[in-house]
A and B are shown apart, each in its own frame.
Chain A
Amino acid sequence: MELLSFGDRGWGDELARATAMTVAVASCAFLLGLVFGALGSFAKLSRNRLVAAIADAYTTVIRGIPELLVIYLLFFGGSGALMFFARMFGHTGYVEINAFATGVCAIAIVNGAYSLEVIRGAVLAVPRGQIEAAKAFGMSPVTLFRRVLAPQVLRFALPGLGNVWQLALKETALISVTGLVEIMRQATVGAGSTKQPFTFYAVAAILYLLLTTISGHGFARAERWANRGVRSA
């Protein structure tokens, strides 16, 4: 127990900071993934064949390959690409890529593909008649989106987005391979220096369980809020 106490002797404060890092990476990646997903779902639903095909390829490829490969691509390929651009602007030398940014981008790219499908399904779930009715009222596309589409898409998409968030939370563990000090990395460091790996990985597991359980309740509340005023049988 002393191992987990706060202060100089224990690992409590380190683990707390690592947990905050996990939450930060997961939240940033989830939000960025939502942006990718929203843009992508419009692309996939668009009448432009080329745009739709690109969005389709994005979801097929990303959902079919391991997340770890995407992380390696961004981590190793990212700094190479940055150095290439830096050299074009006359900068020589090694450019190191920020582990936080890499991690957020990698998880956002993976999560975006899942969010895309969730949002697309939610858009398709809005009855056509309502959109036609809104047009018949003379609503502009922006008003239609704000008043008719967005509130319902949010309601239909929330359960699926809750799952995507849980995925994001668990995928952050993979970022530890880049050396970013989140829960998993901190547990590995602690396990290495105290020779008590089971204790540290068990604590990591408990921290993840706490995060997934608490946010699961949060999403359940959000769903209740989004469904307020909806008649249920």
Chain B
Amino acid sequence: MDPKFMGETLLRLIDGVPLLLKLVTVSLGLGFVIAVLVASARLSKIAPLRAVAASYVFLFRGTPLLVQMFLIYYGLGQFSAVRESFVWPFLRQPYWCAILALTLNTGAYGGEIMRGGIQSVAAGEIEAARACGMSGLLMLRRIVLPIALRQALPAYGNEMILMVKATSLASTVTLMEVTGIAHRIISDTYRAIEVFVVAGAIYLLLNFLITRAIRWLEWRLSPHLRDAPAGIPVVSAMPAR
């Protein structure tokens, strides 16, 4: 272990962090929209919609992300129809291919997580919302989604960490994020252990921050599970008998 080499490695690897963060945030953001749509489709009353969503989830969860990425980056160019269409300027770039692959992948996993969250909303709460005369959308916005999000948050936190790790595959389509740079340094210097330690520390730090943020968000979203702050008298909702 050579501290000087590790310091230089750290500085070079940090150059890859902005790209990593961009990949994670853009694909998680777009993926979340897909996840909510997929979860709604899987729980809808329209059978073809359910089937489409189910096969999307089946395809993307049953194949490795690497295959999805190669299929999009190397595969789509095989068709001249794609090469001549308006999407080609995007699909030609490894960055957008990686974003597309990561987004579709997390959309499938996130869809299952959101479905679990929505299904965990108690029937009584939905009936109560209906009894209050809420329309479908209002009920979704005020009752179902907030409860579903709270339920799904721990699992979604895991998915975020998996996505941070998944961005490393972007290096296979020539993007130089942290793992890509680490690979280059290792093959130049053959000092695998030192580079591994530094790159691993970067990922661990990022994932540590995410777990902390999720835990804080969970705490914020569940005031009903916390003890009342000291000094505030607890008023029982039920009249004492």
Contact = CB atoms under 8 A, between A and B. Distances in A.
Interface of A: 60-61, 63-69, 72-73, 75-77, 80, 170-174, 176-177, 184, 187-188, 191, 195-199, 201-202, 204-205, 208-209, 212-213
A209 B56 CA distance: 12
Given A64-B203, A73-B192, A184 B78 contact: no
A65 B71 contact: no
Contacts of A199: 78
B203 A69 contact: yes
Interface of B: 58-59, 62-68, 70-71, 74-79, 161, 165-169, 171-172, 179, 182-183, 186-187, 190, 192-193, 196, 199-200, 203-204, 207-208
B139 to A, nearest CB: 31
B87 to A, nearest CB: 15
B67 A201 contact: yes
B196 A72 contact: yes
6 contacts: A66-B166, A66-B179, A69-B203, A184-B66, A201-B70, A202-B71
Contacts, number: 115
Contact of A64 (B65, B166, B204): B204
A187 B196 CA distance: 29
Contacts of B207: 64
Closest A-B pairs by Cβ, 3 of them: A77-B192, A66-B168, A198-B75
B64 A61 contact: no
Contacts of A66: 165-169, 179, 203
Contact of B161 (A64, A174, A191, A201): A64
A96 B74 CA distance: 31
B82 to A, nearest CB: 9
A174 B168 CA distance: 11
A69 B164 CA distance: 13
A77 B58 CA distance: 37
A30 to B, nearest CB: 15
Contacts of B203: 64-66, 69
A73 B195 CA distance: 9
B182 A209 contact: no
Contacts of B168: 66-69
A198 B63 contact: no
Contacts of A67: 165, 168
